[in-house]
Amino acid sequence: MGLLDGKTALITGAARGIGKAIALKFASEGANVAFTDLAIDENAQNTEKEIAAMGVKTKGYASNAANFEDTAKVVAEIHKDFGRIDILVNNAGITRDGLMMRMSEQQWDMVINVNLKSAFNFIHACTPIMMRQKSGSIINMSSVVGVSGNAGQANYSASKAGMIGLAKSIAKELGSRGIRANAIAPGFIITEMTDQLSEEVKADWAKNIPLRRGGTPEDVANVATFLASDLSSYVSGQVVNVCGGMNT
């Protein structure tokens, strides 16, 4: 018996990184997994194969999460293919870092659109389905910098703080319909996104983390599994920091 047997999950931006780890963990707990990414290229096809190898139904869909119409279309397609959507993980995200003085309007708009508007798009398209099912679990991928702010990441931090406000509001608005919404705030997780940082920065990060290491995508996937499953049936509107004790 898996924790997610009989459930269908939709995860955005899951061709690699944290989204992929969540997809694999959900599949190992028995969930059918629909996932999106900008393109279903060789990498995404391999992700699809790895998920399918766990014996669940899965399909990757090419869609730009920042685009409202694209999202409505892909959610309708997924609903048709899978028959239901029980879990939505708004994971797609990017960084375009820079100090405020040098930040362009394009850097601001891109990060807000991909990181925050995407979650609005998917929640808007998925909640009518969840309301008819009278249940659903929504997980917004935030970040510790959405809680605490970060110099050089005003756009990213604002988008991630928005993910928390969005999850809390949905929790209050749709709780009576059996829909829960929570946010995960990962700290320093080792993926391609953070791999661009210099070795020095990475070593410095680890030194300042109480658990003395960067997190793994699986560390985040475990918490996502808890929030997606009925183990958290009385947990809604919360932010779970997965940061090795960095934010307390």
Active site residue 234: no
CB 66 to ligand NAI: min, Å: 5
| Tokens (6 digits) for 160 | 């991630």
CB 143 to ligand NAI: min, Å: 4
Q: How far is CA 51 from the centre of its chain?
A: 17
Residue 106 vs 176, nearer CB to ligand NAI: 106
Residue 194 vs 238, nearer CB to ligand NAI: 194
Q: Which residues contact 173 (CB under 8 A, 6 or more apart)?
A: none
CB 177 to ligand NAI: min, Å: 26
* Distance (Å, whole) CA 42 – CA 163: 30
* Distance (Å, whole) CA 98 – CA 85: 37
Torsion of CA 185, 22, 85, 47, to 10 degrees: 140
Residue 18 vs 239, nearer CB to ligand NAI: 18
In what side-by-side order are the strands of the sheet with 179-186? 58-62, 32-37, 8-11, 87-90, 136-141, 179-186, 239-242
CB 171 to ligand NAI: min, Å: 19
Active-site choice (26, 61, 82, 156): 156
Which residues lie near ligand NAI (CB under 6 A)? 12-13, 15-19, 36-38, 64-66, 91-94, 114, 141, 143, 186, 188-189, 191-194
Residue 110 vs 131, nearer CB to ligand NAI: 110
82, 8 Cβ separation under 8 angstroms: yes
* Distance (Å, whole) CA 38 – CA 184: 22
Catalytic machinery residues: 156
